[in-house]
Amino acid sequence: LQPSLADAAAELGDVYVNGCLRSAWQVEQPDCASGEIGSPTTVAVVGDSNSAMWNPAFRTIAEQRGWQVHMFGKAGCPLMDLPTF
Protein backbone atom coordinates (compact mmCIF):
# COMPACT_ATOMS: atom_id res chain seq x y z
CA LEU A 1 0.00 0.00 0.00
CA GLN A 2 1.50 3.33 -1.05
CA PRO A 3 1.70 5.51 0.92
CA SER A 4 1.77 3.21 3.90
CA LEU A 5 -1.00 3.71 6.42
CA ALA A 6 1.59 5.01 8.88
CA ASP A 7 2.56 7.74 6.40
CA ALA A 8 -0.93 8.56 5.12
CA ALA A 9 -1.49 11.46 7.53
CA ALA A 10 1.51 13.27 6.03
CA GLU A 11 -0.28 13.18 2.65
CA LEU A 12 -3.09 15.44 3.88
CA GLY A 13 -3.20 18.93 2.43
CA ASP A 14 -2.37 21.74 4.84
CA VAL A 15 -5.99 23.00 4.99
CA TYR A 16 -6.90 19.74 6.73
CA VAL A 17 -4.38 20.22 9.54
CA ASN A 18 -3.94 24.00 9.92
CA GLY A 19 -7.53 24.81 10.92
CA CYS A 20 -8.60 26.35 7.61
CA LEU A 21 -11.15 23.60 6.89
CA ARG A 22 -13.60 23.90 9.76
CA SER A 23 -15.92 21.16 10.97
CA ALA A 24 -19.68 21.59 10.75
CA TRP A 25 -19.72 22.36 14.49
CA GLN A 26 -17.08 25.09 14.47
CA VAL A 27 -18.60 28.55 14.18
CA GLU A 28 -15.59 30.83 13.79
CA GLN A 29 -13.65 31.01 10.53
CA PRO A 30 -9.94 31.84 10.78
CA ASP A 31 -8.24 34.07 8.24
CA CYS A 32 -6.59 31.52 5.97
CA ALA A 33 -4.83 33.70 3.43
CA SER A 34 -1.97 32.71 1.15
CA GLY A 35 -0.24 33.98 -1.94
CA GLU A 36 0.58 37.69 -2.28
CA ILE A 37 -1.17 39.13 0.78
CA GLY A 38 -2.35 42.67 0.07
CA SER A 39 -2.72 42.11 -3.68
CA PRO A 40 -5.69 43.94 -5.24
CA THR A 41 -6.69 40.61 -6.85
CA THR A 42 -8.32 38.23 -4.38
CA VAL A 43 -9.48 34.67 -5.00
CA ALA A 44 -11.96 33.21 -2.49
CA VAL A 45 -12.13 29.42 -2.26
CA VAL A 46 -15.51 28.73 -0.64
CA GLY A 47 -17.24 25.45 0.11
CA ASP A 48 -16.69 22.07 1.69
CA SER A 49 -13.80 19.60 1.54
CA ASN A 50 -14.23 19.36 -2.23
CA SER A 51 -13.32 23.03 -2.54
CA ALA A 52 -10.50 22.61 -0.01
CA MET A 53 -9.00 19.98 -2.30
CA TRP A 54 -8.45 22.74 -4.90
CA ASN A 55 -6.76 25.17 -2.49
CA PRO A 56 -3.16 24.05 -3.27
CA ALA A 57 -3.76 24.59 -7.00
CA PHE A 58 -5.26 28.04 -6.45
CA ARG A 59 -2.41 28.93 -4.08
CA THR A 60 0.18 27.95 -6.72
CA ILE A 61 -1.55 30.03 -9.40
CA ALA A 62 -1.91 32.96 -6.99
CA GLU A 63 1.80 32.87 -6.13
CA GLN A 64 2.70 32.83 -9.83
CA ARG A 65 0.38 35.76 -10.64
CA GLY A 66 0.79 37.86 -7.51
CA TRP A 67 -2.75 37.26 -6.22
CA GLN A 68 -3.98 36.48 -2.73
CA VAL A 69 -6.17 33.47 -1.89
CA HIS A 70 -8.55 33.17 1.05
CA MET A 71 -9.85 29.72 2.01
CA PHE A 72 -13.34 29.58 3.56
CA GLY A 73 -14.04 25.90 4.04
CA LYS A 74 -16.47 23.96 6.19
CA ALA A 75 -16.47 20.16 6.05
CA GLY A 76 -19.81 18.70 5.05
CA CYS A 77 -21.26 22.09 4.11
CA PRO A 78 -21.21 22.58 0.34
CA LEU A 79 -21.95 26.02 -1.05
CA MET A 80 -25.54 26.04 -2.24
CA ASP A 81 -27.70 28.44 -4.20
CA LEU A 82 -30.93 28.53 -2.19
CA PRO A 83 -33.70 31.11 -2.02
CA THR A 84 -33.59 33.36 1.03
CA PHE A 85 -36.42 35.25 2.67
- Asked if residue 38 belongs to a domain, the reply is yes
Nearest by Cα to 21 from 56, 61, 67: 56
- Asked if residue 61 belongs to a domain, the reply is yes
d(CA 36, CA 65): 9
**How much is the pTM?**
0.73
- Asked if residue 42 belongs to a domain, the reply is yes
- Asked if residue 23 belongs to a domain, the reply is no
- Asked if residue 1 belongs to a domain, the reply is no
Burial (0-12, 13-18, 19+ Cβ within 10 Å), 10:
exposed
Q: Which residues contact 65 (CB under 8 A, 6 or more apart)?
A: 41
As for how many domains the chain has, the answer is 1
Within 10 A of 16 (CB to CB), how many other CB atoms are there? 17
- Asked if residue 15 belongs to a domain, the reply is no
pLDDT in tens, the chain (85 residues): 877 888 877 776 777 667 788 888 888 888 889 999 999 999 999 988 888 888 889 999 999 999 999 999 888 888 788 887 7
- Asked if residue 68 belongs to a domain, the reply is yes
What is the residue range of 73's domain?
29-79
